[in-house]
């Protein structure tokens, strides 16, 4: 049973309908809705009847939020516009984050207890709206009120500080340079040879079916997890919660402490754009992790991974699970098994234009750091020299 809970499967859509009132009125002061579609209807009641349309709103129009309501599993916002008051569907809009004024002496992540719905109503409701087909509101609230996963401290705080730092990009690039000699040497190449011989049928079948060379597959697996030796010890759910909700405040404290004056630091406008991308990735990965957990019956809080939230031998993000493949044909997709990892890496590279634009382009889609791409290519080239006597690459 325990083994079943650590498996990550492809998403299978399971829809739940649940009538429940959702009210967050006390938390919605000064929040705005942004229309995300070409146009949508402002309605007199929270339903899709044709006769209750008040006016039409266009993309990027905004309105002030007054209240929320969940009508048979569909989330609605009661809003105030220049044309009056009415109901707007959450599926055609999103809440705009309220500008936060941080008190350096009382940052959220330094508190001993946090109610996310109160502190971050926009982020909270946008997240709920994304997964509401899969979770009842009380289930969602229970997951996001678990203080053991919500509070930011210890190594999790250290890793988020590192990620938010304006010198993080430079530091990570240097780390990839340092890893080249650690990951590409006679010892790792010999380990790769033994690994290939053990799983040779899977490598050759994956190569034949996808067109991705076996040496490129094993090079990725070596770089990502040292052929499954290092899978990560962090709670992935917690990692993404922290990135999504708290990274703004961590960045603010780094700004206050002068980290933008350090050598190699990004300028703040560039750094803030990067922070927004990190938050969006965290949002995407968190929602996919929660959906996969619901569809396959495991608790999202038990999944372990890297400090960045990557899972299994190939270090896939939850949002990349659409590329995962059942390599051993046992009816399950488990990225902690080698056959599934081999076929999943091959599928990922193939679907990222490995054939059309070349392997280096596909490596870059796995990780965009230039030294990562160079290091993977170096291991692949060196390994090919060892592999040729074993099995000529077609």
Domain assignment present for residue 214? The answer is yes
What's the pLDDT tens digit per position in 290-328? 999 999 899 999 999 999 999 999 999 999 999 999 999
Asked whether residue 29 falls in the same domain as residue 88, the answer is: yes
Domain annotation covers residue 143: no
Indicate the pLDDT class of residue 344, thresholds 50, 70 and 90. Answer: very high
**What confidence tens digit (pLDDT) does each residue in 121-145 have?**
999 999 999 999 999 999 999 999 9
Beta-ladder partners of 79: 65, 86
pLDDT at 16: 27
Judge if 189 and 299 occupy the same domain: yes
Go through the chain and tell me how many residues it has: 394
Can you give the pLDDT at residue 236?
97
Asked if residue 144 belongs to a domain, the reply is no
Q: What is the dihedral of CA 219, 222, 225, 228, to 10 degrees?
A: 110
Joined together, the tokens standing for residue 310 give 């990557």
Distances (CA, A) of 377 to 183, 184, 185, 356, 370: 12, 10, 13, 17, 11
Mean pLDDT, residues 94-109: 74
Q: What is the DSSP string of 114-166?
A: --HHHH-HHHHHHHHHHHTTTS-HHHHHHHTT-HHHHS--HHHHHHHHHHH-T
Token pair recorded at residue 62:
């905004």
Cβ atoms 124, 97 nearer than 8 A: no
Alpha-carbon distance of 325 to 340, in angstroms, equals 6
State how beta strands 74-81 and 39-43 pair: unpaired
Whether residue 221 is found in the same domain as residue 342 = yes
Q: Residue 61's closest CA among 79, 43, 46?
A: 79
Handedness of CA 302, 305, 311, 314 (dihedral sign): negative
| Domain extent for 122 | 25-132
What CATH number has the domain bearing residue 46?
2.30.30.40
- Indicate if 109 and 210 belong to the same structural domain: no
Q: Which residues pair with 88 in a beta bridge?
A: 77
Distance set, CA 173 to CA 153, 367, 378 (Å): 26, 11, 16
On whether residue 335 sits in a domain, the answer given is yes
Q: What is the mean pLDDT of residues 83-95?
A: 90
Average pLDDT, the chain: 88
Helix and strand numbers (H, E) in the chain are 16, 9
Tell me, what's the pLDDT at 150? 92
Residue 159 lies in a domain: no
Is the pLDDT score of 4 beyond 90? no
Q: Let me know whether 89 and 209 are in one domain.
A: no
pLDDT of residue 111: 78
Say what the pLDDT of residue 9 is.
34
Q: What's the farthest any 2 CA atoms get from each other in the chain? A: 76
Taking the C-alpha atoms of residue 218 and residue 208, their distance in angstroms, rounded to an integer, is: 15
Answer whether residue 151 is part of any domain.
no
Is the pLDDT confidence value at 116 over 70?
yes
Asked whether residue 190 falls in the same domain as residue 239, the answer is yes
Domain assignment of residue 365, yes or no: yes
With bands split at pLDDT 50, 70 and 90, how would you rate the model's confidence at 97?
A: confident
Q: Give first-to-last CA distance, the chain, whole Å.
A: 42
Domain assignment of residue 377, yes or no: yes
384: Cβ contacts below 8 Å, ≥ 6 apart: 213, 215, 393
Q: Are residues 229 and 370 in the same domain?
A: yes
pLDDT in tens, 218-274: 999 999 999 999 999 999 999 999 999 999 999 999 998 999 999 999 999 999 999
Verify that 106 and 196 share a domain, yes or no: no
Are 238 and 156 contacting, i.e. CB atoms less than 8 angstroms apart?
A: yes
Give the residue from 393, 390, 338, 317 showing the smallest Cα distance to 221: 338
The domain tally of the chain equals 2
In the three-class reduction of DSSP (H, G, I as helix; E, B as strand; rest coil), residue 207 is classed as helix
Taking the C-alpha atoms of residue 317 and residue 259, their distance in angstroms, rounded to an integer, is: 29
pLDDT of residue 70: 84
Looking up residue 238, the CATH number of its domain turns out to be 1.10.530
Neighbours of 294 (CB within 10 A): 19
**Coil, strand or helix: which one is 290?**
helix
Last-in-domain residue among 132, 159, 189: 132
């Amino acid at each position: 049973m325990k083994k079943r809970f650590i498996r990550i499967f492809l998403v299978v859509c399971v829809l739940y309908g649940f009538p429940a009132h959702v009210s967050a009125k006390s938390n919605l002061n000064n929040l705005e809705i942004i229309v995300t579609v070409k146009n949508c209807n402002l309605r007199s009641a929270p339903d899709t009847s044709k006769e209750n349309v008040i006016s039409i709103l266009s993309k990027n129009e905004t309105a002030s939020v007054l209240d929320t309501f969940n009508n048979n599993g569909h989330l609605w916002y009661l809003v105030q516009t220049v044309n009056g008051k009415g109901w707007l569907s959450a599926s055609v809009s999103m809440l705009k984050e309220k500008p936060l004024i941080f008190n350096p002496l009382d940052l959220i992540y330094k508190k001993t207890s946090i109610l996310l719905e109160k502190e971050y109503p926009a982020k909270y409701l946008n997240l709920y709206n994304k997964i509401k087909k899969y979770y009842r509101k009380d289930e969602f609230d229970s997951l996001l009120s678990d203080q053991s996963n919500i509070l930011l401290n210890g190594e999790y705080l250290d890793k988020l500080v590192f990620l938010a730092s304006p010198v993080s990009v430079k530091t990570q690039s240097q780390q990839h340079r340092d890893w080249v000699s650690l990951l590409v040497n006679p010892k790792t190449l010999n380990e790769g040879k033994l690994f290939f011989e053990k799983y040779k049928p899977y490598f050759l079948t994956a190569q034949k079916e996808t067109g991705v060379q076996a040496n490129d597959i094993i090079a990725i697996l070596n770089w990502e997890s040292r052929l499954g030796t290092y899978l990560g010890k962090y709670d992935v759910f917690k990692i993404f919660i922290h990135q999504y909700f708290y990274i703004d405040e961590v960045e603010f404290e780094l700004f206050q402490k002068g980290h933008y004056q350090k050598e190699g630091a990004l300028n703040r406008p560039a750094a803030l754009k990067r922070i927004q991308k990190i938050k969006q990735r965290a949002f995407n990965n968190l929602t996919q992790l929660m959906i996969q957990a619901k569809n396959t019956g495991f608790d999202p809080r038990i999944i372990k991974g890297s400090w960045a939230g990557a899972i299994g031998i190939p270090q896939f993000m939850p949002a990349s699970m659409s590329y995962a493949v059942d390599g051993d044909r046992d009816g399950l997709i488990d990225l902690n098994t080698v056959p599934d990892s081999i076929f999943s890496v091959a599928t990922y590279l193939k679907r990222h234009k490995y054939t059309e634009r070349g392997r280096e382009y596909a490596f870059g889609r796995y990780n965009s750091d230039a030294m990562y791409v160079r290091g993977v290519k170096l291991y692949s080239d060196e390994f090919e020299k060892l592999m040729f006597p074993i099995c000529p690459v077609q």
